Amino acid sequence: MDLYEREAKELLARWDIRVPRGRVANTPGEAARLARELEGAEVAVKAQVRAGGRGKAGLVRVVSQAEVAVAVAGILGARHRGERVEKVLLEEKLDIAQELYAGVIVDTRLGLPLLLLSGRGGVEIEELAAVKPEAVYRETLTRIPPLHRITAAWLAAGYQGPALGEVARATRSLLEMFFASDATMAEINPLVCTVAGAVVAADAKVTVDDAALFRQPWAAGLVRPPEGKMEEMARQYRLAYVSLDVGGDIGIIAGGAGLALATMDMVRAWGGRPANFLDTGGGVSAGQVAAAMRIVHGTPGVRGILVNIFGGINNCLTVAQGIREFMAAEPLVARLVVKMRGHSQEEGWALLEEAGVKVVKYGSTEEAVKLLLAE
């Protein structure tokens, strides 16, 4: 689960990391009123979306009190990397002397946390890291290092300013928070050293492992917009459904996430636009397949469905029975091509062909894609 900036900052504050005073607003009028509570001549107005890169997209602005409402009106409702801005965060303006970067992320290759530090934080860090990797200090961790090691790491990362002690302490707190919260990623960018000598987290991103939410009740209790109908149904049937939200018209049902992704790539390669994909997983029941068909077929805009199943753990007859169950309950409006092979394939194929469904038997996924798109 990705936290919103304000949520991540509340978490950091609980670990004694300083964060700017802030208020969350839903409308320009509310924003203007809440900004006055912050008392500065200028305030930072920040779109609350979970993706980064807001600064470069013009969704973080420092404005005078008089300009708050207009700035907020320009930010609310904007779309950023697929997310609509519903709320803004108003914060006291920081007098920035220096911007640092501090992050920790699970290195999935090693299965260990990786500490990332840079004396040159801010909106350019990703580009900088790409062209000048040595600008980012990296250290794989097996435990939280003692403070003197963190201090040494910051020196190696290119920071030797007057706030070194505070910066190291904030970094240790970040690591303590990371481990205690079952985070898979926690990042402060920028970690700001102010002109007055304070160390403040000006931005924060935290991802909490979904599998650990049961023991992180504060995170499980965070309010999120209600799921769509399709997502809810998929969860109910223990199916992994991903809506792609890009105006596609091809729905994909595949047995296994890898096959689903490969099928999606294949559809794209042949000029189709996937609208969603659904991974049935293994050992799927006919009822689950029928639900998968209802979900994918019911996704607005879907005009063609490709079912791609390898009957290893799954059974082709069961899959065919599920498709027939769906067809008996609802008129099939979308084009449908089924490519499946494996256990009980002959019986499965026969059941589908009996109902007029196009079946790719010995051919490749590529053939199935071409057949679906050609219709």
Query: Which residue ranges make up the site for Mn ion (CB under 5 A)?
Result: 189, 203
Does the annotation count 4 as an active-site position? no
Contact call for residue 91 and ligand GDP (CB under 6 A): yes
Q: Is 87 left (phi over 0), alpha (psi -120 to 50) or beta?
A: beta
Smallest distance, ligand GDP to C-beta of residue 144, A: 25
Contact call for residue 129 and ligand GDP (CB under 6 A): no
What is the bridge-based pairing of β-strands 240-243 and 274-279?
A: antiparallel
Site string for ligand GDP, 51-90 (x = CB under 6 A): -xxxx----x-x----------------------------
Q: Which amino acid is at 371?
A: L
Smallest distance, Mn ion to C-beta of residue 203, A: 3
Residue with tokens 């049935």: 280
Of the residues 7, 91, 99, 187, which is catalytic? 187
Measured distance CA(100)–CA(117) in Å, rounded = 8
Residue 361 interacts with, from Mn ion, ligand GDP, none (CB under 5-8 Å by kind): none
Reduced to 3 states (helix: H, G, I; strand: E, B; else coil), residue 288 is: helix
Smallest distance, ligand GDP to C-beta of residue 56, A: 6
Does the annotation count 187 as an active-site position? yes
Measured distance CA(240)–CA(129) in Å, rounded = 34
Residue 20 interacts with, from ligand GDP, Mn ion, none (CB under 5-8 Å by kind): ligand GDP
Quick one: 7 or 203, whose CB is closer to Mn ion?
203
Quick one: 201 or 360, whose CB is closer to ligand GDP?
201
Reduced to 3 states (helix: H, G, I; strand: E, B; else coil), residue 111 is: coil
Measured distance CA(8)–CA(2) in Å, rounded = 9
Contact call for residue 94 and ligand GDP (CB under 6 A): yes
Structure tokens that stand for 23 in this block: 């208020």
Quick one: 46 or 370, whose CB is closer to ligand GDP?
46
Widest Cα–Cα separation across the chain = 78
Residue 122 interacts with, from ligand GDP, Mn ion, none (CB under 5-8 Å by kind): ligand GDP
Angle between helix 286-297 and 316-329 (nearest 10): 50
Smallest distance, ligand GDP to C-beta of residue 40, A: 9
Measured distance CA(133)–CA(116) in Å, rounded = 11
Contact call for residue 202 and ligand GDP (CB under 6 A): yes
Structure tokens that stand for 183 in this block: 């985070």
Half-sphere exposure (CA, 13 Å, Cβ side) for 14?
11
- Residues 225-254 contacting ligand GDP, CB under 6 A: none
DSSP 9-51: HHHHHHTT-----EEEESSHHHHHHHHHHH--SEEEEEE--SS
Of the residues 5, 7, 99, 101, which is catalytic? 101
Smallest distance, Mn ion to C-beta of residue 189, A: 4
CB 21 within 8 A of CB 37: no
List the catalytic residues. 101, 187
Which positions lie near ligand GDP, rule CB under 6 A? 20, 44, 46, 52-55, 60, 62, 91, 93-94, 96, 99, 122-123, 189-190, 202-203
